[in-house]
Amino acid sequence: MCKMKESDQKCNNSCDWKMGFRFSDEEKVEKLKNSISISRSRMKLWMTRAITTVLLWTCFVHLMALGELWRPKLFITWPSRCFHFDSPMPLQSSSSLPYNVFLPPKRIYRNNGYLMVSCNGGLNQMRAAICDMVAIARYLNLTLIVPNLDKTSFWADPSDFEDVFDIDHFVLSLRDEVRILRKLPLRLERRFESKTIYSLSPISWSNISYYHNQILPLFQKYKVVHLNKTDARLANNRLPIELQKLRCRVNFNALRFTSRIEELGRKVVQMLRNKGPFLVLHLRYEMDMLAFSGCTRGCNNDEVDELTRMRYAYPWWKEKVIDSELKRKEGLCPLTPEETSLVLSALGIDPNVQIYIASGEIYGGDRRMESLASAFPNLVRKETLLKPSDLRFFQNHSSQMAALDYLVSLESDIFVPTYDGNMAKVVEGHRRFLGYKKTILLDRKLVVSLIDQYDNGLLGWDEFSSAMKEAHSNRDGSSKKRVVIPDRPKEEDYFYTNPHECLEAWEEPLRSS
């Protein structure tokens, strides 16, 4: 009995110990399960919060974007206008102002390749080319690499894109139309380091079908294509309305100059405004223009020889013999300073008005400017209005200097170009866009004919002045429909001179679906 009891007691003790062990294990397992369950719950809660936050933020961004697109016209900040000096606001950098609080949403599309661009020519030639290349990239679903500016032309300007234009504004303001990168992605850079990127010059004045049928297959084959001469590569007419409006959007909004250029431009305009109305004279009588055109009216023999040598030094300029007088009578030469003086006087321009000369160095210097300065003594230039320290960053940078003249030209009460070069054309179109600001468009063929008759005594001053005024009564830069000449695109009105598709009152930013 005792043995049984002892054995039973041992059994019971043993069982109790084993049971206790089991109970301890079960408790640990239970605790572990509870711990895992709690961790999972916390993870789910964290994930739920994170996803909710992302969704709410996404909704917020889209709502803001929609608000930007659909808010009333009164509050639309795009398209931007030029400087406004009527406001009592203090002068400050446009880049410091909240020009666009909400960015447009990114456009999502299948990328067909990367478009590299090398622009050629002066500032406004390159400006128009950039607008065309953005439109082409948009139409072909390409990623645009920020264009390279011309550094090999006569001006040898070392400026990069970001030295002239606000690159951040350019990229971000167009993000709903086209993806723009500052440079090729690293993987493609490495891939093409040892290879030559496929490069070509597109055919001038081409319709969009040319780019779809002949250029797009090149991207499908090579992935990266370099277009290396981009001026006048897109037609003036017969393009989809969305592309025409996109060209305007780039030109009048996305291509904003750097804050340094805009601040200085605002300063010059304010200095002129403080003294009253002013006229901007785009006197295209610089050495490069005369050499290129072969126009030598008023030059002595040494100057004629110098200009001829210069023309032959640049193989892409006209190397043929040019009859300067014949070309002048056809209206194909820029007016000389002497001719310009007669024209302004005959048109009745107040001799005391401020005239801002928008140009580089006039060929022949003070000698050639004597008659103009005598008739209009209030001639000024950026170099005479500003201190040398103001212009030190712009010296030897022709594009930046031209950008300054461009801004002042837009704000002038009257703009008078003496030649229909790229700046004259683009400024004329921009002034049309800004509300048909007066631009006197000289009929040079008629002008030189009237001047010759006056110089030869065939016309008196009153007759000469009346004929000049009558001939230009309707040539003031007002609205008109662009001329279309099938199969002769070079003779049509230039799109950037008269972008009539973009001159209506827009109800919302120019976009395509």
Q: What pLDDT, on the 0 to 100 scale, is given for residue 60?
A: 53
pTM over 0.85: no
CA distance 411 to 416: 13
* Residue-level pLDDT at 189: 83
The answer to whether 291 and 317 are in contact (CB under 8 A) is yes
Q: Look at strands 354-357 and 198-200 and give their pairing.
A: unpaired
Cα 305–Cα 309–Cα 313 angle in degrees, nearest 5: 170
Whole-angstrom CA distances from 170 to 130, 138, 201, 376, 497 are: 11, 14, 24, 40, 22
List the Cα angle 127/132/135 in 5-degree steps. Answer: 130
In angstroms, the CA 228 to CA 129 distance is 11
Any alpha helices (H) in 254-396, and if so which ranges? Answer: 259-273, 287-293, 301-313, 324-329, 337-346, 365-375, 382-385, 388-391
Determine contact, residues 115/139, Cβ cutoff 8 Å. no
Question: Edge-to-edge strand order for the sheet containing 414-417?
Answer: 379-380, 354-357, 278-282, 414-417
3-state secondary structure of 143: strand
Question: pLDDT per position in the chain (513 positions), as tens?
Answer: 444 444 444 444 444 433 343 444 555 445 545 555 555 666 666 666 666 665 665 555 444 444 433 333 322 333 334 443 333 333 333 333 344 446 899 999 999 999 999 999 999 999 999 999 999 999 999 999 999 999 988 778 999 999 999 999 999 999 999 999 999 998 888 777 767 789 999 999 999 999 999 999 999 999 999 999 999 999 999 999 999 999 999 999 999 999 999 999 999 999 999 999 999 999 999 999 999 899 999 999 999 999 999 988 877 666 678 899 999 999 999 999 999 999 999 999 999 999 999 999 999 999 999 999 999 999 999 999 999 999 999 988 999 999 999 999 999 999 999 999 999 999 999 999 998 899 999 999 999 999 999 999 999 999 999 999 999 999 999 888 899 998 899 999 999 999 999 986 443 343 333
Please say whether the dihedral angle defined by the alpha carbons of residues 281, 287, 293 and 296, taken in this order, is positive or negative.
Answer: positive
Instruction: Identify the CA nearest to 403 among candidates 239, 175, 162, 233.
Output: 162
Nearest to 397 by CA among 123, 119, 151, 157: 157
Q: How far apart are CA 466 and CA 461, in angstroms?
A: 8
DSSP helix/strand/coil, 92: coil
> What phi and psi values does residue 163 have, to the nearest 5 degrees?
-80, -20
Distance, CA of 355 to CA of 9 (rounded, Å): 122
Can you tell me the distance from the alpha carbon of 300 to that of 311, in angstroms, rounded to the nearest whole number? 17
Report the alpha-carbon distance of residue 444 to residue 40 in Å, rounded. 83
Find, among 443, 445, 458, the residue nearest to 329 by Cα: 445
Domains and CATH numbers, the chain: 113-253 (3.40.50), 259-502 (no CATH)
| Residues in Cβ contact with 68 at an 8 Å cutoff, skipping those fewer than 6 apart | 101, 102, 104
Contacts of residue 196, defined as CB under 8 A and 6 or more positions apart, other chains included, come to none
Q: Which residues neighbour 370 within 8 Å (Cβ) at sequence distance 6 or greater?
A: none
**What's the pLDDT at 45?**
63
Sign of CA dihedral 322, 324, 330, 335: positive
Tokens found for residue 403 = 């950008």
Task: Please state the φ and ψ torsions of residue 311, each to the nearest 5 degrees.
Answer: -65, -40
As a whole number of angstroms, the distance between CA 281 and CA 263 comes to: 21
